[in-house]
């Protein structure tokens, strides 16, 4: 089990004074590691608003109210580094990382992808996140791991226009925040719990590139998780795709449909990209993962939607030929 240390020594007296707490501590000995951690969270929710813990040499802070990303980091054996690592390996093998100086991350949340990207690559990370509650945690998680100098934080939402918009933020799942669209029904559990509506600044991706003076050819790849706003990222990021910058993105047809951009998403994907592969395929095949024609993406996404599953895909642009992988030499 990965090394993990929990920073709440103030809880120790509770175990000495409260018989029920002592019983739970004793019971935890017979649980799986995940079960024991779940039991710990149940106890903590009555006494604390947030938790800071260490895992694999990384210190994380998350609010106990948020039961999505933070809980996953604490509870599961796998974490976002397990998703980032194979993507970084592929980008490195095919020359995208060696040529790039910057990774553009859109939808940073509390840093669950930001920190692995900074730790696994030499690149400077430009992290875009519009939700103030998430930004506060992102900054804290970077600071307590001495990674603040490696990351530029941009407080915006990516849309098709520069200005402002409203977002709905589920307090039990802040990473699920969406741009508000009128007259839509959100069935997810996180939206049945308390939510808040906030007003945030927006930007087009091409505008942001100019503002930050980011040359597309200096960007290794884009990492995107924006809860249905992926269409706006693709449409306004044309300078990147024309320069051959690949895009790693979440693909959730239901979220795109809620934004009214599903068909436009597939049209723009076929306009700017030529191949793709999925995270599942990358896990199975590694850097030798076969590339699929982008025209097959629509049918695959429809099948996943019927199975009530989202998916992550790596989209490879038309502008540049796919380079040959560069593997380390095994010779002397």
Give the model confidence (pLDDT) of 95-137 as tens digits: 999 889 999 999 999 999 999 999 999 999 999 999 999 999 9
58-62, 184-188, 281-285, range with the lowest pLDDT? 184-188
Give the domain ranges of the chain: 4-64, 80-317
| pTM of the complete model | 0.86
Give the pLDDT of residue 330.
Answer: 41
Q: 255, 227 in Cβ contact below 8 A?
A: yes
CA dihedral 156, 157, 159, 161 (to 10 degrees): -30
The predicted pLDDT at position 118 comes to 96
Residue 52 host element (H or E): strand 50-55
Segment 146-174, tens digit of pLDDT: 999 999 999 999 999 999 999 999 998 88
Q: Are 253 and 296 in contact (CB under 8 A)?
A: no
d(CA 135, CA 109): 7
* pLDDT at res. 76: 78
pLDDT tens digits, 3-25: 444 445 555 555 555 565 566 66
Q: What phi-psi label fits residue 244: left (phi over 0), alpha (psi between -120 and 50 degrees) or beta?
A: left
Domain 80-317: CATH superfamily, name plus number: Vaccinia Virus protein VP39 (3.40.50.150)
Confidence at residue 65, expressed as pLDDT on a 0 to 100 scale: 86
**64, two tokens:** 């106990």
pLDDT for residue 199: 97
Return the sign of the alpha-carbon dihedral for residues 104, 107, 113, 118. positive
Write out 79-110 in H/E/C secondary structure.
Answer: CHHHHHHHHHHHHHHCCHHHHCCEEEEECCCC
Average confidence (pLDDT) over 196-204: 96
What is the CB neighbour count within 10 angstroms for residue 219?
A: 25
Q: For 33-49, what is the mean pLDDT?
A: 77
Q: Which residue has the higher pLDDT, 187 or 266?
A: 266
């Amino acid at each position: 089990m990965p090394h993990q240390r929990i920073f709440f020594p103030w809880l120790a007296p509770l175990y000495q004074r409260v018989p029920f707490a002592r019983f739970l501590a004793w019971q935890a000995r017979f649980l799986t590691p995940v079960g024991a951690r779940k039991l710990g969270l149940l106890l903590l929710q009555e006494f604390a608003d947030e938790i800071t813990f260490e895992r694999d040499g990384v210190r994380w802070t998350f609010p106990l109210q948020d039961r999505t990303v933070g809980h996953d980091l604490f509870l599961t054996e796998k974490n976002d580094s397990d998703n980032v690592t194979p993507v970084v390996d592929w980008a490195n093998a095919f020359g995208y990382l060696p040529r790039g100086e910057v990774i553009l991350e859109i939808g940073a949340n509390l840093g669950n992808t930001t920190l692995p990207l900074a730790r696994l690559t030499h690149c400077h990370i430009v992290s875009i996140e519009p939700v103030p509650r998430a930004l506060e945690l992102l900054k804290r998680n970077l600071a307590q791991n001495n990674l603040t100098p490696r990351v530029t934080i941009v407080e915006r939402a990516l849309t098709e226009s520069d200005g402002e918009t409203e977002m709905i933020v589920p307090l039990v799942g802040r990473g699920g925040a969406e741009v508000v669209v009128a007259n839509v029904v959100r069935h997810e559990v996180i939206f049945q719990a308390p939510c808040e509506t906030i007003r945030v600044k927006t930007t087009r991706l091409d505008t942001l590139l100019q503002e930050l003076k980011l040359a597309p050819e200096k960007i290794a790849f884009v990492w995107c998780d924006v809860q249905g706003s992926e269409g706006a990222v693709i449409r306004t990021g044309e300078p990147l795709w024309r320069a051959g910058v690949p895009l790693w993105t979440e693909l959730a047809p239901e979220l795109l449909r809620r934004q009214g951009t599903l068909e436009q998403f597939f049209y723009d994907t076929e306009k700017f990209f030529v191949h793709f592969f999925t995270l599942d395929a990358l896990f199975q095949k590694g850097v030798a993962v076969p590339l699929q024609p982008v025209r097959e993406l629509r049918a695959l996404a429809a099948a996943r939607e019927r199975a009530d599953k989202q998916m992550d895909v790596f989209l490879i642009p038309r502008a540049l030929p796919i380079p040959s992988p560069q593997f380390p030499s095994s010779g002397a």
